[in-house]
Chain A
Amino acid sequence: MRHLDEGTIHAWLDGALDAEESRAIETHLAECASCAGEVAEARGLIAASSRILAALDAVPGGVIPDDDTGGSDGSAAAKDDAPSTGTPRRASPRPRWRIPGYARAAAAVMLVTAGAIALARTERIAPRPASEASSRVVRTSAERAAPPMAPAPASAPAARPSAPAADTAIARAAPRAEPSAPSDVAPRRSNRAEAPRVAFSPRAGNAGARPPAPDTHAFAMADSATGMPSGRDSAARREAESAIADGLAGAMASPGGAAVTRPRGGASMVAGRVTDERGAPVAGASVVVSSQESARAFATTDARGEYAITLPDTLGSRAATITVRRIGYRAVTDSVIPAPRTTVVRDLTMPATPLSLSEVVVTQQGAAERRSAAGARPTDSVMRAPSDSAPRLAESAKALSPRIRLVRSDSVADGDRIVRRRIYEVRPGVRVTLAAAALIADRQAPMDGRFRAARPSARPAPDAESAESLAVGVNSIQWTGVDGTRYTLSGRLPVAELSRLKDLVR
């Protein structure tokens, strides 16, 4: 018999050969040391590649990078109650993939609610071209906000409620650069491609040690997902790392740029001020410091545009990137090298960009309600999900606030349905579940998860512009489908928590 080729060896080890072939191989191996060596190597490769592939499971799957191991769901007790994985040869526990018992219970509850949703479908917009529909909504809100306001981006930053609406109109009118790109990705790319590196903006006032403003929102976490470890990101990260040297040089060169102070405590901190191009403070911007693919810490700027982030040990003194995001501005990334017991001051300037509002729209309706009812019944936000509802919705949520995070993404089977769920945490302790039930019990029924019966039959196919929206109110959540059908659900969100939802759009 000829020597064994590698493919045959793997096929044999994988049990893919019939008895006769296997016998021939065993006979050959008994007398061929070189082939026996190759078999040993193949065994090693099989084991090693299994191990490498299993490491992929450590990547949390949410669109919003976050940990979803479910440890915070109180599901620890339910982990033993896992269904068969269908792969008996796997011995290692994989709690992430299990559907804990509580999830099934939740699904049952949810399915009941899904029925309620169908009933609550209250309003149907008359058939009309989708793009017209969305632009009309926007126009209306802009008019309400400031009737004489021309859609010029240079309009003074009016009261917050009206500004987004005006910007929205612009955003709608302007061609979108990347209409279908996930909002999380697009800003990063465009940032890198065109945004000026706003490193160490030389502001004389910052030369001194600014005491970092205590920020109650600031917190830090280690998170395996921060890095979104894809090739694309790795490249970006390398780029960021290589930019650090430049950054250091810049810090030395510009006296007002990166001041370094010794804070009282022992913590390593990054602090600074975020302004727009005209020097006005940008409040409510999220500032994230992240390093490699491991750790991150973030804070939100206060009314003066200032932030202070206490870094976790995991960020240590390694090179890190600092990114600031805010609806209506282009995200800005800079490099920063934290140092132990030192506050590094990093001021950032965010260029206003109405285009980014194509992803997230704060409607005038919400603002008007907020004004009239003085917080009693605010409709807080409307997130426009671009064409691709589900994942984009997640990203819109993220754009709306970095504090909205995807806690869990899974599916559950219940009788004749498969229910797809995404659970977001919008504020600590407040979760919102989006569920899409694929109704498959009846072959006559729509089977693609749409409530198709609600669709006006003669509608033109919705295009990418007819995106969905999500509105979170005090005790209701509204969802508008691509076809304009509105769904309303009365929720059980506690009023105290929901009044704070307003902060999400700040």
Chain B
Amino acid sequence: MHDVERLFRTYHVMLVRYLTRRLGDRDWAEEVAQETFVRALRQETLTNERAWLFTVANNLVRDAARKDARRRRHLSLLAEEARDEAIEPEPTSLERAQEAALARRAVDALAERDRLALLMREEGLDYGEIAQALGLSVGSIGTTLARARRRLVEQYEALQRERGRREGHAAS
């Protein structure tokens, strides 16, 4: 029980990043991550923490899609005054936003298994862990990742070209 904090500090950032990239929604990602950690802490033992966490997170996302009314949570409320911190919306670069949008489309175009494998690999999971989380054989992960990477890059570049053409038309 006392390694709650350790577990959280070690894996939370990774898990939320993975989930955000996957879901495109930081808020949802945080939600799933918290649920994942809570479940982890109910386990007596975790043999492979990282793979276990990603597996559970994947299942939670799947369950959420299946059963929409899942994430009921009592929120406690807290008022917080922050008067002197006036909000100035940080101008985000247009280019960066466009890149993100293209990336999202390219990632969404991948088959789910490929996408998950790639996103987990990006968080440093090894082949064994990815295989465990996805229920695949270790031997197939290399092929899965190779396909995912190739398609992602090809898709992204195709979208870039498409955008370039559109802007070319718009400019002329």
Specify whether A and B are partners: yes
By a beta-carbon cutoff of 8 Å, the part of chain A in contact with chain B is 5-12, 14-16, 42, 45-46, 48-50, 52-53, 55-63, 66-69, 71-74, 83-89, 94, 97-99, 106, 110, 113-114, 117-118, 180, 221-225, 227-231, 234, 292-295, 314, 318, 387-391, 393-394, 406-407, 409-411, 413-418, 420, 422-423, 425, 428-438, 440-441, 443, 447-451, 462, 464, 468, 470, 477-479, 481-482, 485, 487, 489-494, 497
1/0 per position for B118-145, CB-CB distance to A under 8 A?
Answer: 1101111011000000000010111111
Establish whether residues A430 and B82, one from each chain, have CB atoms under 8 Å apart when the complex forms. Answer: yes
Q: Chain B residue with minimal CB distance to A438?
A: B38
Establish whether residues B89 and A67, one from each chain, have CB atoms under 8 Å apart when the complex forms. Answer: yes
Known contacts: A49-B152, A431-B82. The answer to whether A295 contacts B142 by CB under 8 A is no
> Which residues does chain A contribute within 8 Å of B92, judged by CB atoms?
58, 67, 222-225
By a beta-carbon cutoff of 8 Å, the part of chain B in contact with chain A is 1-2, 4-5, 8-14, 16-17, 20-21, 24-31, 33-35, 37-38, 41-42, 68-94, 96-108, 118-119, 121-124, 126-127, 138, 140-150, 152-153, 156, 170
Establish whether residues B34 and A55, one from each chain, have CB atoms under 8 Å apart when the complex forms. Answer: no
Beyond known contacts A49-B152, A61-B29, A477-B78: 15 more, CB 8 A cutoff? A5-B143, A14-B121, A45-B150, A67-B92, A71-B88, A86-B9, A224-B97, A388-B69, A409-B26, A409-B27, A430-B82, A438-B34, A448-B35, A492-B81, A493-B81
Assembled-state Cα–Cα distance A438/B170 (Å): 52
Chain A nearest CB, measured from B136 CB (Å): 12
Q: Chain A residue with minimal CB distance to B39?
A: A447
> Which residues does chain A contribute within 8 Å of B122, judged by CB atoms?
50, 53
Establish whether residues B104 and A388, one from each chain, have CB atoms under 8 Å apart when the complex forms. Answer: no
Chain A nearest CB, measured from B46 CB (Å): 14
Establish whether residues A292 and B98, one from each chain, have CB atoms under 8 Å apart when the complex forms. Answer: yes
Chain B nearest CB, measured from A462 CB (Å): 8
Establish whether residues B17 and A391, one from each chain, have CB atoms under 8 Å apart when the complex forms. Answer: no
Assembled-state Cα–Cα distance A292/B35 (Å): 34
- Counting residue pairs across A and B whose Cβ atoms lie within 8 Å, the total is 366
> Which residues does chain A contribute within 8 Å of B28, judged by CB atoms?
61, 63, 391
Establish whether residues B69 and A449, one from each chain, have CB atoms under 8 Å apart when the complex forms. Answer: no
- Interface pairs (10), CB distance under 8 Å: A9-B146, A14-B142, A57-B21, A61-B29, A72-B90, A222-B92, A224-B92, A440-B41, A477-B78, A492-B79
> Which residues does chain B contribute within 8 Å of A223, judged by CB atoms?
89, 92, 97
The A interface is mostly helix, strand or loop, or mixed, namely: mixed
Pick the 6 closest A-B CB pairs, nearest first: A61-B26, A491-B79, A7-B143, A11-B142, A224-B97, A229-B101
Q: Chain B residue with minimal CB distance to A50?
A: B122
> Which residues does chain A contribute within 8 Å of B9, judged by CB atoms?
83-84, 86, 413
Establish whether residues B80 and A391, one from each chain, have CB atoms under 8 Å apart when the complex forms. Answer: no
Establish whether residues B14 and A58, one from each chain, have CB atoms under 8 Å apart when the complex forms. Answer: no
> Which residues does chain A contribute within 8 Å of B8, judged by CB atoms?
411, 413, 418
Establish whether residues B26 and A231, one from each chain, have CB atoms under 8 Å apart when the complex forms. Answer: no
> Which residues does chain B contribute within 8 Å of A117, judged by CB atoms?
76-78
Q: Which of A56, A71, A436, A493 contacts B24, CB < 8 Å?
A: A56
Establish whether residues B72 and A387, one from each chain, have CB atoms under 8 Å apart when the complex forms. Answer: yes
Q: Which of B25, B94, B127 contacts A295, CB < 8 Å?
A: B94
Establish whether residues B142 and A72, one from each chain, have CB atoms under 8 Å apart when the complex forms. Answer: no
Establish whether residues B13 and A97, one from each chain, have CB atoms under 8 Å apart when the complex forms. Answer: yes
Assembled-state Cα–Cα distance A158/B37 (Å): 50
> Which residues does chain A contribute within 8 Å of B102, judged by CB atoms?
55
Establish whether residues A431 and B81, one from each chain, have CB atoms under 8 Å apart when the complex forms. Answer: yes
Chain A nearest CB, measured from B112 CB (Å): 14
Chain B nearest CB, measured from A357 CB (Å): 20
Establish whether residues B34 and A224, one from each chain, have CB atoms under 8 Å apart when the complex forms. Answer: no
Establish whether residues B107 and A58, one from each chain, have CB atoms under 8 Å apart when the complex forms. Answer: no
Establish whether residues B72 and A433, one from each chain, have CB atoms under 8 Å apart when the complex forms. Answer: no
Establish whether residues B77 and A86, one from each chain, have CB atoms under 8 Å apart when the complex forms. Answer: no
Known contacts: A294-B94, A410-B30, A479-B75. The answer to whether A56 contacts B20 by CB under 8 A is yes
Known contacts: A45-B149, A234-B105. The answer to whether A413 contacts B79 by CB under 8 A is no
Assembled-state Cα–Cα distance A225/B87 (Å): 16
Establish whether residues A447 and B42, one from each chain, have CB atoms under 8 Å apart when the complex forms. Answer: yes
Known contacts: A97-B13, A410-B30. The answer to whether A53 contacts B87 by CB under 8 A is no
Chain A nearest CB, measured from B150 CB (Å): 6
Q: Chain B residue with minimal CB distance to A455?
A: B74
Establish whether residues A413 and B12, one from each chain, have CB atoms under 8 Å apart when the complex forms. Answer: yes
> Which residues does chain B contribute within 8 Å of A450, judged by CB atoms?
72-74
Q: Which of B13, B98, B146, B170 contacts A6, CB < 8 Å?
A: B146
> Which residues does chain A contribute within 8 Å of B12, judged by CB atoms?
411, 413
Assembled-state Cα–Cα distance A29/B83 (Å): 63
Establish whether residues B27 and A62, one from each chain, have CB atoms under 8 Å apart when the complex forms. Answer: yes
Establish whether residues A16 and B126, one from each chain, have CB atoms under 8 Å apart when the complex forms. Answer: yes
Establish whether residues B73 and A436, one from each chain, have CB atoms under 8 Å apart when the complex forms. Answer: yes
Known contacts: A5-B143, A55-B100. The answer to whether A432 contacts B149 by CB under 8 A is no
Known contacts: A429-B86, A481-B74. The answer to whether A230 contacts B104 by CB under 8 A is yes
Establish whether residues A389 and B14, one from each chain, have CB atoms under 8 Å apart when the complex forms. Answer: no
Establish whether residues A86 and B10, one from each chain, have CB atoms under 8 Å apart when the complex forms. Answer: yes
Known contacts: A390-B31, A413-B12, A429-B82. The answer to whether A53 contacts B72 by CB under 8 A is no
Chain A nearest CB, measured from B37 CB (Å): 5
Assembled-state Cα–Cα distance A352/B34 (Å): 39
Assembled-state Cα–Cα distance A113/B170 (Å): 55
> Which residues does chain A contribute within 8 Å of B147, judged by CB atoms?
6
Q: Chain B residue with minimal CB distance to A412?
A: B8
Known contacts: A57-B17, A74-B85, A487-B76. The answer to whether A234 contacts B101 by CB under 8 A is yes
